[in-house]
Every structure is written in structure tokens, then in C-alpha cells.
Structure 1
Amino acid sequence: MAGGISSSRVLVAGASGTIGRAVVRQLVADGYRVTALLRSVGSGNDLPELAGADVVQAALSDRSGLERVFAAASPDCVISCIASRSGAPKDAQAIDYAANIALLAAAQAAGAGQFILLSAICVQKPLLAFQHAKLAFEAELAASGIDYAIIRPTAFFKSLSGQVKRVKAGKPFLVFGGGELTRCKPISDNDLARFIAQCIGNPETRGRILPIGGPGPAISLREQGEMLCELAGRPARFKSVSPRLFTYAERALNVGAGVSDWFAEKAEYARIARYYATESMLVLDPASGTYSADLTPEFGSETLRDHYARLLAGD
């Protein structure tokens, strides 16, 4: 087994998500007895990645229902891959914090010995609601007394793939500013799943916060565009968007945020967009206050270039 331990039963929450599916597939291949926890059983019927796992359903807000599922599964280790879909304040509080609190309580009630949390590297500079919600749960997890590991990955391949069809259609690649405002070391679903699996029962990861990226070097948005255009057989063409547009949008939406949840959510979306347009997904060097590619650990072998080539071939 990946962690080389006697524990054999693992419950994965958020198993229908992109990373959750990869984790379940990896754990089944490693020989673990896997329970895949979904919000709706029907959502797992067409997911071949969950083959070999026991697929169960429970609402994350139903603590008694979760406890029944956990009692039946009797997991040695619980892995939480849940995350707010929108990042809106209410959704972030309900999922990134409250639902994880319920999972932790159910894990402890069932006698699980370890809780592995999939967090995000961006919480190291928290300016957004979902980041504060994640950090609040990280603190609760660290104080709970259970053995834990907190995984903070950099950018996912999926999050960097939104312009593949655009470039293939001959349209320019969109960048913020000159395309050099941010850098990241993206990690593939499969490599991240292997990294998470190797944390099970691993004394070297116990009680640690683990930032992790894929194989380097760190890549800028402009370099992503150049790579994608090259692979698509298109000349590198770019269209610049100013991050200030998100600032203007936030200011306008904040006018109604105090009286309308709709305006409040849209203002938060503008803040999220500005954050990702201007902040690198790398380890933040506490000494210098700047993002550091050298301090960002690397893991795995799959590259963004390989991923882009597969997407272009499959379209």
C-alpha cells in the first residue's frame, strides 16, 4: 500500500470531484478498501474512476447521517477533497468550514486514526472568504488531536485549460497585463492523488502542512499561452486584460452588497478574479514576502505540456 502501513480502510469525501475521483482510483489500485462518499449516489453512477470502491451517499450538513456512514465504513483514514464550488461567502462557510467540521466529528466518532485535508496554497495569503474558511478549519483540525496532514497544492491542470478551445479556434490567448504577473507549478490530478495516497500513515507527513506543485520550472500565464499556441500549430497571439477591471467591478457591486446577497456574491467573484489574476500559486517566502519557485516543492512527472497535447488531440 502507498503508505506502507497496516491501515486498510480509507473514506474519501468529495469523491465525485476531479481530484476526489483521482484519489479513489489511486487508492483502489494501491489495494486499500475505499469508501467513496458522495452528496448524491446518482452522481457516481457514470464515474468509472470509482470502480472498486463502495459508493455511499450522505448530505454533508447531516451529521447523524454522516456518523452512520462512517460507523459502517469504519475508516482508518479519512481524506477530505470537498471544496466550495463558487467561493461565495455562504457556500465557503458551509462547505470549506462547516462540512469539514462535520466530517472531522464523524471521523473521530468512528475511531479514524488520521484525517488528510486537501486545502489550497492560496490560503497562505488570505484575502477571500473561502480562504478564511479553509484556514479556520485547518486550525480546528490541528487542534483536534487526530493525526493529520494538510495538503496545499498549487494550480491544477484543469484550472489552466480553459483557453484550449479558444486557441484551437484561432482566437488570441487572454493574459492579465503582460502575462508575467503570476507564476505557478501546476500539478496533475494523478500526481496529486499519488502524493495524497503516500501521506496515509506516513510519519514524515504527520501534523504537517504540505505545499506541493508539479514538476517545474514555474510557468507564467504568457508562457502557458506560448506553449498552447505552439502545440496547436497557431502563431502566438495575445489579448491583454487589465486586472483593474475586476477592481472597478468590485467597487460597483459593493454599492449593493450591504442589502443584497446577489451583489455581495458578485463582488466576491470580482475579488476572486483579481486575486488569481495577480497572485502567484507558489510558496510565499516569509522572509521576503515574495513568492518563491525555489521554495515550492515539486512532485510527479506529468507536465502541463503533456496535458495540453492530450487535450488538443482529443478535441
Structure 2
Amino acid sequence: MTATTPTPRRIALAGASGTIGAAVLRRLEADGHYVAALPRGAIAEVDALAEGLADDRIDVVISCIASRSGAPHDALAVDYGANSDLLAAAQAAGAEHFILLSAICVQKPLLAFQHAKLAFEAELAASGIGYTIVRPTAFFKSLSGQAKRVKAGKPFLIFGDGNLTRCKPISDDDLARFIAGCIDNPEMSGKILPIGGPGPALSLRDAGEMLFEATGKTPKFKSVSPKMFTWAGRVLGLGAPFSAWFAEKAEYARIAHYYATESMLVIDPATGEYSADLTPEFGQETLESHYRRLLAGV
């Protein structure tokens, strides 16, 4: 990415209270932009921001909103619906650029939230507004859930041998810098941009070993089979036609299986395989340094 000198812009940021949204807000303010921000909260709040855009001159709209659960109704309402409302408002307000935080997993869509994200990506690309779609790999937060387990001397849970998947995790602040760098940058306009943090690509076992090293403890792993999610999804799926509760829980099982078995890397179109070499890198913060800071506060 070519660095640009930011010109102060009027920016509407949706999802400012989420982990990534909060980091984007800090970065935008540090760069001197004027930001109208709303927490990711309820859809009504996002729609209120959309309605408010019509009353102000807004140069850029950035959306960091995403469904919390990934359940079909939630994904349709947020990943597609709320973003669609924002897009309509952005166009009505005369915004020049819409930057969307999406996800790299949509390149292999098997889940409801992935299809909802893709539906909005297509709507955005066809809208005529200037756009940039950012598809990050794994976040540090998604690889930090077992820090307390490891510090307490418990085994680190892995799927299979721990090497079924790989990713290039990116820190909140590095991703925020990348998103902010899309503003007024012609090299990043009209594009879908996958992005990861500094390499190399890491497996779940790699992440566990980093945690153990940071605590000074001997590595201890416990393997869990991803098939448990497959069976759970099938059993819960039997009740899906009759109960929204069963349908939602079946989707959660499918989501868990997806993340246990699919890498968060760019898929090589020539081979259909995940490729670390084709996954762009950005930023400086590593997962290892994040773990050390995290464990110091656990």
C-alpha cells in the first residue's frame, strides 16, 4: 500500500464500539478527520446514522458492522440489511467513498453470514459509488481465547493435530491503519483487498506454542475432532424445519466446523488451495508480542 498524506475528511463510521471499529475511530481521529460515529449496537442505531447522513455533507462512509451471532436472520439484518441502508444513505448524502470491513472467509461461502456479506459486497460494487472492500484474515482476539487456560496450566485445545488451518493474524491497530489508508488512495479504490498481518502463516498449534512460551510453561495440547461439530449440526438440523432455535444452533455448529477446518488465507485460483504466499501482509505487530502483553494483564 502506498502511504498517503491524509486530508481531513468528514467521515461517518458505523460500528465504532466494536473491537476493530474502536481502533479505526482512534486512527481516524489521530489522522485529523472529523468523525461521526455510532456504536455497532442495535440496527435502529445504525439506521439512525444512515438517516442522519442526509442532513450533513459526508465524504466517506466506513462500515465495521457485522452480525454478532452469524445466525441467518441476524446476518440478513446486519451484514446485508444495515449495510444496504448505509449505502443508500451514503449515496443520498453525496459521499464519494464507501469502505467496507468484510472477511476473507467469504471467498469460500458455506454459511449464512458469508452469503449475506457477499450479497452486500455485490450491491456495493454495482452501486456506482467509489468503494473499497477490505477482507482481513484472523484477528488477534480470535486467537486469544485460551490465554487464561494456558496461564492456569490447562492444555491448549486444538483440532486434529493443530495444523488443519493456518492464518496471518492482524492486530486491531494495524488493520485500522490499513483501513484509514484507503481514504483518498486511488490504488485502493474499486478493489477487494485481502489483508493479513506479518507472516509467516500460523497454525493453531503454532499459536498454542507461542502462548506456552510466553508463560514459560511446557506445551500441553488436547485434541478435539471437528467431526463433533458435523454431528451436532446434523442432529440439530433435524429440528430446524420446525424450530428457529434448532435452526440457529445448527448454524452455530456449522460455523464452528468451518473455522476448525478452513484456513483464513487467500485461495489460489489456479489450484483451489489456500496460499500463504498469495496472502498480503501489512503492519508490524505480531501475535507473539500481543500474547506477551495480554498475559501480563491476565
Select 1:59's aligned residue among 37, 45, 50: 45
Deviations 1:206-231 (A, max 9, x none): 11000000000000001111110111
Aligned pair 1:15/2:16, yes or no?
Answer: yes
Aligned to 1:313: 296
Superposed displacement of residue 59, structure 1: 2.4
Deviations 1:155-206 (A, max 9, x none): 0000000000000000000000000000000000000000000001110011
8 Å contact 1:37–1:58 — kept in the other structure?
A: no
Superposed displacement of residue 8, structure 1: 1.1
1:291/1:77 CA distance change after superposition, 3 Å: same
Work out the CA distance in 2 between the residues paired with 1:5 and 1:304: 28
Aligned pair 1:300/2:283, yes or no?
Answer: yes
Aligned pair 1:199/2:186, yes or no?
Answer: no
Aligned pair 1:151/2:134, yes or no?
Answer: yes
Q: Following superposition, which runs of at least 4 residues in structure 1 exceed 3 angstroms of deviation?
A: 2-7, 65-68
RMSD over equivalenced CA pairs, Å: 1.5
Work out the CA distance in 2 between the residues paired with 1:75 and 1:188: 28
Aligned pair 1:220/2:203, yes or no?
Answer: yes
* TM-score in terms of structure 2 length: 0.96
Aligned pair 1:105/2:106, yes or no?
Answer: no
Q: Percent identity?
A: 72
Select 1:168's aligned residue among 148, 151, 158: 151
What letter corresponds to residue 233 of structure 2 in structure 1?
Answer: E
Structure 1 segment 70-149 matched on structure 2, within 5 A: 70-149=53-132
Deviations 1:247-304 (A, max 9, x none): 0101100110001000000000000000000000000111100000000000000000
Q: Give 3-state SS (helix, strand or coil) of 1:273's partner.
A: helix
Structure 1 segment 266-305 matched on structure 2, within 5 A: 266-305=249-288
Aligned pair 1:236/2:222, yes or no?
Answer: no
Deviations 1:92-128 (A, max 9, x none): 0000000000000011111100000000000000000
Q: Give 3-state SS (helix, strand or coil) of 1:59's partner.
A: helix
8 Å contact 1:35–1:73 — kept in the other structure?
A: no
Q: Give 3-state SS (helix, strand or coil) of 1:144's partner.
A: coil
8 Å contact 1:7–1:76 — kept in the other structure?
A: no
Work out the CA distance in 2 between the residues paired with 1:263 and 1:232: 40
Deviations 1:69-111 (A, max 9, x none): 2134421000000000000000000000000000000111111
Q: Give 3-state SS (helix, strand or coil) of 1:240's partner.
A: strand
Work out the CA distance in 1 between the residues paired with 2:40 and 2:250: 28
Work out the CA distance in 1 between the residues paired with 2:292 and 2:56: 40
Superposed displacement of residue 7, structure 1: 5.6
Work out the CA distance in 2 between the residues paired with 1:67 and 1:274: 35
8 Å contact 2:15–2:63 — kept in the other structure?
A: yes
8 Å contact 1:39–1:58 — kept in the other structure?
A: no
Unpaired segments of 5 or more residues in structure 2?
A: none
Work out the CA distance in 1 between the residues paired with 2:177 and 2:40: 24
What letter corresponds to residue 27 of structure 1 in structure 2?
Answer: L
1:162/1:184 CA distance change after superposition, 3 Å: same
Q: Give 3-state SS (helix, strand or coil) of 1:167's partner.
A: helix
Work out the CA distance in 1 between the residues paired with 2:51 and 2:163: 50
Deviates more, 1:24-33 or 1:69-78: 69-78
What letter corresponds to residue 271 of structure 2 in structure 1?
Answer: S
Q: Give 3-state SS (helix, strand or coil) of 2:233's partner.
A: helix
Work out the CA distance in 1 between the residues paired with 2:222 and 2:56: 51
The number of equivalent residue pairs is: 296
